């Protein structure tokens, strides 16, 4: 049985194992020798990077597959897998040859032979697991969105800076081939100064199942799945995958796909490291069911110096088809046909507009962008070798990754602030330099939330 092969940590030992005591960070349980870590101009002690996978659900398995070319070239080896669902763990142990299975991620962090981790767990675990992994000096690829609270985003940035690890958040739209074309097009001012980025997306779903609470299935460690969340009865409509539609563990479409579409905007406009000064939001809550994220939604982010705005609108599929019809493509283009036409963004500039669809596993830009030929003296931009490959460049050279945690946290903040303005029903004023909501004590208190002992920062 798989359970005989699992490693478990007694609850009372969690603080010691995670390198935490009474909420205060102390020395990590094991620290990788400095010679193993990458530094500018220096690879690790071994050419091959040893990787542990935390979470092995649908998207996490996708991340493992995306590392396939790196494994084939001998650049890395996956040596550990982890999941709180024993069925998923059994499957992962079969799919990842030679990897040791664990139910508890802390054992992966304690292994000195593991250089890096891929975090593919639900959103509410990202912040805690990222900070713990950074404290143990593991390089980190963490699926988007980076975190669920502003407190977590700040802690993640600080942990990565302190330990110097290479971090990559999984907003892979920045690394898509046509994303390079759009970035170059905008940087060269073909449509002039951009004053409005209009992001669109279809609605968040409504839970119409009316599923009652029940006992968790025997293969699931429900307490460990909840982790930092408040204790609550099990309901199968909390997981797997559908955690995205709860504000507590996901946050709706704005956090799921906003972390992709808005990521592209912040990168292409050179706005990484900045934040809005005002956030306004309205939305339509679901009329039934367990999920509570906004079904329809309108958010406006106002930026200053330079002055521009970004809007996020969740609208009906019919309205999207009418206002943002996908471009007809033959399929002969390198990017192929547009298979995700229901979301993207229009960039409004002084001299015209340009548009993209998708923004994550596929980013498709309109024909005029693809066909634009840079004139002599045109500016070029970074062409990512691939999102995983870019992370490995960061590990080996110390170069900042294309979606480093500082940039990933900044995009997550946009999603968090949009939801917070929606919940409170009023405009928020944000000071990016101090990481604070101004002149609103209630909103400022909500930048953090209690995390259940002992699963906390």
Tell me what the mean pLDDT of segment 285-292 comes to.
Answer: 97
Comparing 290-294, 334-338, 388-392, 443-447, which segment has the lowest mean pLDDT?
334-338
Is 399 within a domain? no
* Whole-angstrom distance, CA of residue 406 vs CA of residue 429: 21
Is 390 within a domain? no
Same domain assignment for residues 331 and 215: yes
φ, ψ for residue 135 (rounded to 5)?
Answer: -60, -30
The confidence score (pLDDT) of residue 42 equals: 39
Same domain assignment for residues 144 and 222: no
Q: Is the pLDDT at 9 greater than 60, yes or no?
A: no
Same domain assignment for residues 314 and 441: yes
Same domain assignment for residues 283 and 426: yes
The confidence score (pLDDT) of residue 46 equals: 53
When pLDDT is cut at 50, 70 and 90, the band that residue 40 belongs to is: very low
Q: Is the pLDDT at 332 greater than 90, yes or no?
A: no
Is 397 within a domain? no
Tell me what the mean pLDDT of segment 63-90 comes to.
Answer: 97
Q: What b-and-e string marks burial along 341-371, b requiring 16 or more CB atoms within 10 Å of the CB?
A: bbbbbbbbbeeeebbbbbbbebbbbbeebbe
When pLDDT is cut at 50, 70 and 90, the band that residue 7 belongs to is: very low
The pTM for the full model equals 0.91
Same domain assignment for residues 121 and 228: no
Three-point CA angle 16, 19, 21, nearest 5°: 65
Q: Is the pLDDT at 27 greater than 90, yes or no?
A: no
Same domain assignment for residues 147 and 197: no
Q: Which of 284, 68, 38, 27 is nearest to 138 (CA)?
A: 38
Q: Is the pLDDT at 29 greater than 50, yes or no?
A: no
Token digits for 247? 């504000």
Rg (CA), the chain: 22
Select from 148, 173, 198 the last residue of a domain.
Answer: 173
Same domain assignment for residues 285 and 330: yes
- Residue pLDDT, tens place only, 193-250: 999 999 999 999 999 999 999 999 999 999 999 999 999 999 999 999 999 999 999 9
Contact in structure between 457 and 155 (CB atoms under 8 Å): yes
Same domain assignment for residues 225 and 200: yes
Q: Is the pLDDT at 303 greater than 60, yes or no?
A: yes
Kindly state the helix (H) or strand (E) to which residue 335 belongs, with its residue range: none
Q: Which of 62, 56, 58 is nearest to 83 (CA)?
A: 56
Counting the structural domains of the chain, the total is: 2
- Supply the CATH number for residue 260's domain: 3.30.360.10
- The per-residue pLDDT of the chain, averaged, comes to 91
Residue 324: domain span: 174-384+405-445
Q: Is the pLDDT at 11 greater than 60, yes or no?
A: no
Contact in structure between 84 and 224 (CB atoms under 8 Å): yes
Q: Which of 171, 114, 179 is nearest to 147 (CA)?
A: 171
- Supply the CATH number for residue 46's domain: 3.40.50.720
The confidence score (pLDDT) of residue 6 equals: 45
Same domain assignment for residues 18 and 155: yes
The confidence score (pLDDT) of residue 47 equals: 82
Q: Is the pLDDT at 41 greater than 80, yes or no?
A: no
The confidence score (pLDDT) of residue 335 equals: 83
* Helix, coil or strand: residue 277: coil
Q: Is the pLDDT at 16 greater than 80, yes or no?
A: no
Q: Is the pLDDT at 182 greater than 60, yes or no?
A: yes
Select from 141, 173, 205 the last residue of a domain.
Answer: 173
Same domain assignment for residues 194 and 88: no
* Whole-angstrom distance, CA of residue 41 vs CA of residue 43: 7
Contact in structure between 121 and 129 (CB atoms under 8 Å): yes
Comparing 28-32, 218-222, 265-269, 342-346, which segment has the lowest mean pLDDT?
28-32
């Amino acid at each position: 049985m798989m359970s005989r092969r699992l490693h478990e940590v007694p609850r009372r030992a969690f603080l010691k194992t995670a390198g935490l005591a009474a909420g205060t960070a102390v020395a990590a349980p094991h620290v990788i020798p400095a010679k193993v870590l990458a530094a500018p101009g220096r690879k690790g002690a071994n050419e091959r990077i040893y990787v542990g996978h935390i979470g092995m659900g649908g998207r996490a398995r996708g991340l493992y597959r995306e590392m396939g070319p790196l494994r084939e070239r001998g650049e890395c080896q996956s040596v550990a897998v982890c999941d709180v669902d024993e069925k998923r763990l059994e499957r992962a142990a079969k799919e990842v040859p030679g990897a040791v299975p664990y139910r508890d991620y802390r054992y992966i962090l304690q292994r000195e032979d593991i250089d890096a981790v891929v975090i593919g767990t639900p959103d509410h675990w990202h912040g805690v697991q990222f900070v713990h992994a950074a404290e143990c000096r593991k390089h980190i690829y963490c699926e988007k969105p980076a975190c669920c609270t502003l407190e977590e985003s700040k802690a993640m940035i600080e942990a990565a800076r302190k330990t110097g690890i290479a971090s990559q958040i999984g907003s892979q739209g920045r690394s898509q081939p046509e994303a390079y074309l759009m970035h170059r097009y905008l940087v060269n001012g073909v449509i002039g100064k951009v004053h409005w980025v209009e992001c669109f997306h279809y609605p968040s779903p409504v839970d119409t199942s009316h599923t009652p609470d029940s006992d968790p299935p025997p293969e699931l460690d429900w307490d460990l799945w909840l982790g930092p969340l408040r204790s609550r009865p099990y309901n199968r409509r909390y997981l797997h995958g559908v955690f995205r539609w709860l504000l507590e563990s996901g946050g709706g479409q704005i956090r799921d796909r906003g972390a992709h579409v808005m990521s592209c905007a912040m990168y292409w406009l050179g706005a990484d490291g900045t934040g809005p000064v005002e956030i306004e939001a309205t939305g339509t809550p679901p009329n039934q069911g367990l999920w509570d994220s906004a079904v329809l939604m309108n958010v406006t982010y106002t930026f200053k110096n330079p002055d521009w705005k970004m809007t996020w609108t969740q609208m009906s599929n019919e309205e999207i088809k009418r206002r943002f019809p996908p471009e007809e493509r033959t399929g002969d283009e390198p990017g192929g046909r547009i298979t995700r036409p229901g979301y993207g963004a229009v960039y409004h500039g002084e001299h015209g507009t340009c548009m993209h669809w998708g923004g994550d596993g596929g980013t498709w830009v309109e024909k005029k962008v693809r066909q634009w030929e840079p004139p002599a003296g045109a500016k070029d931009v970074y062409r990512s070798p691939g999102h995983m490959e870019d992370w490995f460049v960061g590990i080996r050279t110390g170069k900042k990754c294309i979606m480093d945690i500082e940039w990933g946290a900044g995009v997550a903040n946009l999603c968090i602030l949009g939801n917070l303005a929606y919940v409170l029903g009023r405009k928020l004023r944000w000071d990016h330099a101090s990481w604070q909501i101004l002149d609103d004590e209630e909103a400022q208190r909500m930048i953090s939330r209690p995390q259940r002992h002992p699963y906390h920062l």
